[in-house]
Amino acid sequence: MDSVESSDQRRATVSQREQWMVQDQVFQIYDIFANIPHKTRTLMLELQRDNHIEYLTRGLKQLSSSFVVLDANRPWLCYWILHSIALLGESIDYELENNVIDFLKHCQDPNGGYGGGPGQMPHLATTYAAVNSLITLGGRRALSSINRGKLYAFLRGMKDPSGAFRMHDAGEIDVRACYTAISVASILNILDDELIKGVGNYILSCQTYEGGIAGEPGSEAHGGYTFCGLAAMILINEANRLDLAGLLDWVVFRQGVECGFQGRTNKLVDGCYSFWQGGVFALLKGLHSVDGEHVALSDAEEGDSATDGTSEGEDGNSLETDETCHIKQGGDGEMAPLFHSVALQQYIILCSQEQEGGFRDKPGKARDYYHTCYCLSGLSVCQYSQSKDEHSPPLPRAVLGPYSNLLEPVHPLYNVVLKQYQEAHEFFSSQSTS
């Protein structure tokens, strides 16, 4: 038997070895958690709010010289940090807020759109980040700083004859470009038939045989592109054109034994997919039918667990849960959770959270603002996954750890805090684009 195992280990691929190493690291954390006193367990499940706020605020004020490699992503850094702070229910001081608004004004191109920094060419990705940053800040000064008329002209300029969008002038065409363009136009109330035309056909051509959505036709299904494609199709009212049953099937099986999500088939778990994959379930929750019929996966799937044992968290949360990946209509029309929401919270809090502040990809990796943003966004999606609507606060059993872990709800289509979206929606609905 030993010789067989040794032979298998010798034949293992690099990917298999990396997978085993990550599983060992994750399961060690879970084993420690399962074998410590209840009081200590409760402390491990606590969201380190103060440390996260300190880490985020410090980064917004000043970054080290190592961040020079992200010079073309500065609006993204603003968004990742500001959105994380908003999810934690906090805000920045008046002086810092004005500094951010002034900085983003300098990133706004005279002909529309936002670049990665002052003087840089406008780009759809940094336009999305800048707009979401300003919406997250809220208030008349931030929202009115967006030149919607010029931004619309920029979006039209990025429109390809195929119907899809380019990321920038002469740039690549992909699903990410389609989503960022449609998301920005929708949230700013400038979305029209000219921008929508042909987008659905392009995204449809990117759905793969697996059910997920690729970045471009012929590529591999990917969690980030699947979110972008589905969200864009919902925003243009063409989601029913997708193979939603196949998409759901693909996303369901991206949640692995570590309790977190992988971005592609046979890839490692990554905390950022807590939102990119978890957010897909929030979008699907709003779709009541697939091809006109309610969806229900096999009852045999119910009761499967993403954990190896049962441990009780604060408020009686069980880390082994029957919240299986399924759609099931209740008597009041409410959908049951579509994924292991408590198990995903377990991965985020125990494996991605840094006690000193910030979140990381996986054990062994360093914290960063990107993963902090999308781990917190995914955590919010988990916590509200059983809520009937945005006005219904989650029950204690839906929140792993103390109820003080509860974050602000996000609007899953745009990934901005819901109340900030509502303010922006009201503001831009009353504004002309001239």
Q: Which of 174, 368, 382, 421 is catalytic?
A: 368
The answer for residues whose C-beta is within 8 angstroms of residue 252's C-beta and 6 or more apart is 297, 325, 338, 339
- Tell me, yes or no, if 267 is annotated catalytic: yes
Give the burial class of 176: count Cβ atoms within 10 A of its Cβ; 0-12 exposed, 13-18 middle, 19 or more buried: buried
Compute φ and ψ for 416, nearest 5 degrees: -125, 155
Give just the sign of the alpha carbon dihedral 165, 168, 171, 176. Answer: negative
Question: Do the Cβ atoms of 249 and 201 come closer than 8 Å?
Answer: no
- Tell me, yes or no, if 264 is annotated catalytic: yes
The answer for residues whose C-beta is within 8 angstroms of residue 184's C-beta and 6 or more apart is 124, 127, 128, 131, 151, 155
Q: Which of 52, 109, 270, 367 is catalytic?
A: 270
Question: Do the Cβ atoms of 117 and 103 come closer than 8 Å?
Answer: no
- Tell me, yes or no, if 425 is annotated catalytic: no
DSSP 8-state secondary structure symbol assigned to residue 353:
B
Q: Which of 52, 74, 123, 267 is catalytic?
A: 267
- Tell me, yes or no, if 371 is annotated catalytic: yes
Residue 215 to residue 224: CA distance in whole angstroms: 9
- Tell me, yes or no, if 272 is annotated catalytic: yes
Q: Which of 79, 179, 273, 370 is catalytic?
A: 273
Q: Which of 78, 79, 361, 374 is catalytic?
A: 361
SS3 113: coil
Question: Do the Cβ atoms of 433 and 148 come closer than 8 Å?
Answer: yes
**Structure-token match 């400038």, residue found:** 190
SS3 290: strand
Q: Which of 52, 74, 83, 222 is catalytic?
A: 222
Q: Which of 254, 264, 360, 411 is catalytic?
A: 264
The token duo for 40 is 């200590």
Q: Which of 206, 259, 272, 325 is catalytic?
A: 272
- Tell me, yes or no, if 243 is annotated catalytic: no
Residue 287 to residue 196: CA distance in whole angstroms: 20
- Tell me, yes or no, if 160 is annotated catalytic: no
Catalytic residues: 222, 264, 267, 270, 272-273, 361, 368, 371
